[in-house]
């Protein structure tokens, strides 16, 4: 495993990559495809007409963009029924690359889209995750600090309450601080697919109880 990275170190590597011509959109594409490929390699092929339901839950930042990409890649394989749940409103997607990928996903008819922009709609999240075989979660990324807002906190609690489903976190469990590994509430993950290398806080013994198995993903940075 690579040496753990702070948020600033990871940001510096991304900037170094951009100087080479590796764009943020390329990194996001590589991140999302790595998640989808991991899940596809992990799940057995189901013969016959039964589909494996995958619920993909994203926020309005970079982390959400990663899982939007994963949804598109999973839609390629016929054995999956894919839904994307946006926690927040479309207007709050503040990262250009994430918006690009949200717009793409929005145009794919076979991907079910659900927007939860207020707590009164959280029953829709329950509907999507209640009979899922797997969840991919990217509500918050490495920029997260403090305590989740009410809507996001309620979504994380619902995710954690859902049992018997494979929970994959994108880069870091949503709600965990990347540098310290501290969290009031974060996604209790079976697997965390971390981008380029592990984040420093994920080595915190308490954080390791939330990350599950940590897998490094190659996002195209050649260093």
Chain segment 111-157, per-residue pLDDT in tens: 999 999 999 999 999 999 999 999 999 999 999 999 999 999 999 99
Give the predicted TM-score (pTM) of the model.
0.95
Q: Order of strands across the sheet with 112-116?
A: 112-116, 80-87, 52-58, 134-138, 166-170, 191-195, 213-217
Structural contact between residues 54 and 127, judged by C-beta atoms closer than 8 angstroms: no
C-beta separation of 64 from 58 below 8 A: yes
Q: Which of 5, 24, 6 is nearest to 14 (CA)?
A: 24
The 10 Å CB-count burial string (b at 16+, else e) for 131-146 is: ebbbbbbbbbbbebee
Q: Which residues touch 161 (CB under 8 Å, ≥6 apart)?
A: none
Per-residue pLDDT of the chain (223 residues; tens, 9 = 90+): 899 999 999 999 999 999 999 999 999 999 999 999 999 998 865 555 568 999 999 999 999 999 999 999 999 999 999 999 999 999 999 899 999 999 999 999 999 999 999 999 999 999 999 999 999 999 999 999 999 999 999 999 999 999 999 999 999 999 999 999 999 899 999 999 999 999 999 999 999 999 999 999 999 999 9
- The CATH superfamily holding the domain 7-42+50-217 is YjeF N-terminal domain (3.40.50.10260)
Q: Which helix (H) or strand (E) holds 213?
A: strand 213-217
Q: What are 114's strand-pairing partners?
A: 85
């Amino acid at each position: 495993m690579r040496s753990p990275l702070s948020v600033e170190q990871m940001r510096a590597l991304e900037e170094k990559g951009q100087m080479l011509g590796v764009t943020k959109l390329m990194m996001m594409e590589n991140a999302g495809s790595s998640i989808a490929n991991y899940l596809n390699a992990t799940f057995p092929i189901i013969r016959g007409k039964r589909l494996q339901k995958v619920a993909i839950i994203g926020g309005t930042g970079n982390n959400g963009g990663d899982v939007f990409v994963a949804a598109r890649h999973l839609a390629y394989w016929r054995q999956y029924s894919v839904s994307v749940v946006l926690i927040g409103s479309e207007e709050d997607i503040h990262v250009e690359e994430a918006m690009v990928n949200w717009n793409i996903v929005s145009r794919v008819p076979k991907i079910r889209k659900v927007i939860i922009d207020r707590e009164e709609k959280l029953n829709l999240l329950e509907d999507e995750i209640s009979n899922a075989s797997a969840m991919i979660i990217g509500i918050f990324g490495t920029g997260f600090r403090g305590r989740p807002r009410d809507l996001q906190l309620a979504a994380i609690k619902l995710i954690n309450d859902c049992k018997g489903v494979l929970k994959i976190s994108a880069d870091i469990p949503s709600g965990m601080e990347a540098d310290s590994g501290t969290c009031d509430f974060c996604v209790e993950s079976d697997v965390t697919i971390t981008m380029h290398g592990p984040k420093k806080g994920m080595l915190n013994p308490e954080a390791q109880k939330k990350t599950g198995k940590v897998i490094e993903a190659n996002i195209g940075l050649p260093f």
